[in-house]
Amino acid sequence: MWPFWWKGASGFSAHSTAEEVTHGIDGTGLTAIVTGASSGIGEETTRVLALRGVHIVMAVRNTDSGNQVREKILKETPQAKIDVIKLDLSSMASVRSFASEFKSLDLPLNLLINNAGIMACPYMLSSDNIELQFATNHLGHFLLTNLLLDTMKKTANESNSEGRIVILSSEGHRYAYREGIRFDKINDEASYNTLQAYGQSKLCNILHATELARQFKEQGVNITANSLHPGSIMTNLLRYHSFINTLGNAVGKYVLKSIPQGAATTCYAALHPQAKGVSGEYLMDNNISNPNSQGKDTNLAKKLWEFSLSLTSEEES
């Protein structure tokens, strides 16, 4: 991460907040889905985009928490348009149910913000018997995106405006397993490492955006796809690592971003005019950055796409 005071080509820095990077931007008429919208940077992303006039659909695992956030935002911004729909990304059935419910609303879809995630949890399997970090952080978002692509393409075509897919990754992608993605050992408990499995899932996020961008360009579709590192932020992602959590709470104000700063790059990628036409990139601190060599591997991205399709094909049929 660049020093807080360093401003990149965008004119923004790690110190910039979500409100600052969207100042003066009118999002009226746009509709966005934000996953993991009831806490942390997902909540702040929802609040700021709603403040800018975007109609938000909060995709949340706990709808009670989601509705509490919705009410809080409405007190601040009474004209905000916010819906809450249940989504458990670790369950393909839940992803399919969410997509169906969203489509029944007959709304356009301009922005898809794949924000939700879990970090470094003990070895567990999802309800579909897939390692939980890979299932939640990548596969659920992969299926969700594919189920909503037709709606996004239709919206982009009819509105003659660019659709944007924003996928939250992490600098943690640099600490994935040596081979990057362990296609033949996704569920291997014996060699499971909590942080490397997290890194693997975050590498998948980058490669997902890379392959989406390639396909959109090939198809001539007016949709962009980018991944990003939000910054190091104290959120409930660290709930499985009490020591890191304690240390972070002690020194965080000196070295970590605040939640408004952490949500900035997401909001910049989703709404800022400077991001128009930018696709297949990895962003950090509101500027274009670089992932590691595996994050730039287009062949690995294609392999991951086919692997993910094979795991979700029954759910997409």
Residues with a catalytic annotation lie at: 192
DSSP secondary structure letters along 278-310: --S-EEETTEEE---GGGG-HHHHHHHHHHHHH
Q: How many CB atoms lie within 10 A of CB 61?
A: 18
The answer to whether the Cα torsion of 57, 124, 311, 281 is positive or negative is positive
| Closest alpha carbon to 89 in 132, 57, 47 | 132
In which element (H, E) is residue 153 found? helix 140-159
Tokens 């003659």 locate to: 160
Q: How many CB atoms lie within 10 A of CB 93?
A: 11
DSSP secondary structure letters along 77-96: -TT--EEEEE--TT-HHHHH
Q: Please give the DSSP secondary-structure letter assigned to residue 175.
A: G
Instruction: Determine the Cα–Cα distance for residues 135 and 128; give it in Å rounded to an integer.
Output: 8
